[in-house]
Amino acid sequence: MRVLVVGAGGFIGRHLCAALAAAGHDAVRATLQPLAAWDQPEDWRPQLTGIDGVVYAAGCLRDQSGGVADLLDLLHHRAPSALGDACESAGIRHLVHLSALCGGVSAYARSKHAGEVALAGRGCIVRPSLVVGVGGVSSRMLDLLARLPWLPLPAAVARCRVQPIRVEDLAAGIVATLNSPLPPASWVAVGPEAATVADWIARRRAARGLGPARHIELPQALTRASARLGDLIPLGPWCSTALELLAHDSAEPQAASPLGRPLRDAMEGAWA
C-alpha cells in the first residue's frame, strides 16, 4: 500500500513512516506548497496519484507561523476537510485523520473539533492524549522537569490528568487501521493509565533513581506571563495554548485499540 503522509516530518509523522515501512508499505511524504493552497481540494488531487491510503498528521500549537494567519483553523480544519474531499473524488477510502483528545475553548481545541466534524463518516478520526517517545517535544519537556530538584508548576497544570500513549503504539495502531477492511470510525488513543502531570513527572524522577522533588506552585500572574512570553518567543511548547489545554484533563476509559493487544505502559521506553 502506498500511503500519503501529511506531516511526515513531525514527531508522530516520523514514527508513522517508520511503522509503515516496517509493515511493508510505502510512505509517501506530502509535498504540497504553499500552505495557503492546503484548503483547496483541487490542489491536493495531484498528490493522490497512485495513492492507496492517506494519513493527515499535520498540526501546531500557535495560530501564526511563517506569516500565515489563522493557521490553526487551516491546519486542523480546512486542510483536512479539503483533503477529504479530494480523497472522495479519487476513490480513496483509507483515510486517517489525527486529531487530539482535548477540552476547553481555545482556538486549538475549536479547530480540532471542527476538523473532526468535517471528516466525520469519511475516515477514521484518531484522538490521542499526550504522546510520549523519542523526539516528542512535550515528553522531552516533562523529562527535563523530572531532573529538577524543585518542580515549578502552575496548580492547574499539576492537577491535569493525562493518559499518555507511546508513539510507537500510536503509529502501529494507525497502520493497523489502514490495513483493516472495516476500520473504526474513531479511536481514542490513550495509554493504559491516567495520572496527573505532577505524578508522571514524579515517575520519571523515580525511573532515573531520583527522590521526590519539592513542588513549587507558580502564581497565576507569573504563569500567564510566562505563557505569553512563550507566544512571543517560540523556543518550546509552552505558550498560552498549552496553558489552556493543560487546564483540562486529557483522559478517557481505555477502549479496544486497532492493535488488538494491550498498549504498553507510558514508562516503557525513553521520553526524550
pLDDT digits (tens, 9 = 90+) for 216-259: 998 989 999 999 999 888 878 888 999 999 999 999 998 788 99
Q: What is the mean pLDDT of residues 38-43?
A: 96
Query: Whose CA is closest to 31, among 3, 5, 57?
Result: 5
Whether 122 has a pLDDT exceeding 90, the answer reads yes
Q: What is the DSSP-derived secondary structure letter of residue 133?
A: S
51 or 237, which is more confident?
51
Q: What is the mean pLDDT of residues 95-104?
A: 96
pLDDT for residue 66: 61
Using the structure block, give the residue that is written with the C-alpha cell 486517517.
Answer: 96
% of the chain residues with pLDDT over 90: 79
Q: How far, in Å, CA of 247 to CA of 158, rounded?
A: 9
C-alpha cell at 258: 486497532
Whether 153 has a pLDDT exceeding 70, the answer reads yes
pLDDT band at 36 (very low <50, low <70, confident <90, very high): confident
pLDDT for residue 62: 85
pLDDT for residue 184: 92
Using the structure block, give the residue that is written with the C-alpha cell 497565576.
Answer: 220
pLDDT for residue 179: 95
156-160 contact pairs (CB < 8 A, 24+) = 156/246, 156/247, 157/197, 157/223, 157/243, 157/246, 157/247, 158/196, 158/197, 158/198, 158/215, 158/217, 159/196, 159/197, 159/198, 160/196, 160/197, 160/246, 160/247, 160/248, 160/249, 160/250
pLDDT for residue 232: 86
Q: How far, in Å, CA of 270 to CA of 242, rounded?
A: 22
pLDDT for residue 82: 98
pLDDT for residue 92: 96
Q: What is the mean pLDDT of residues 46-59?
A: 97
pLDDT for residue 159: 93
Q: What is the mean pLDDT of residues 122-145?
A: 94
pTM for the whole thing? 0.94
pLDDT digits (tens, 9 = 90+) for 171-223: 999 999 999 999 999 999 999 999 999 999 999 999 989 998 998 998 989 99
Whether 43 has a pLDDT exceeding 70, the answer reads yes
pLDDT for residue 65: 64
% of the chain residues with pLDDT over 70: 99
Whether 96 has a pLDDT exceeding 90, the answer reads yes
Mean pLDDT of the chain, nearest integer: 93
pLDDT for residue 52: 98
Domains of the chain: 2-245 (3.40.50.720)
pLDDT digits (tens, 9 = 90+) for 56-86: 999 998 887 666 778 999 999 999 999 999 9
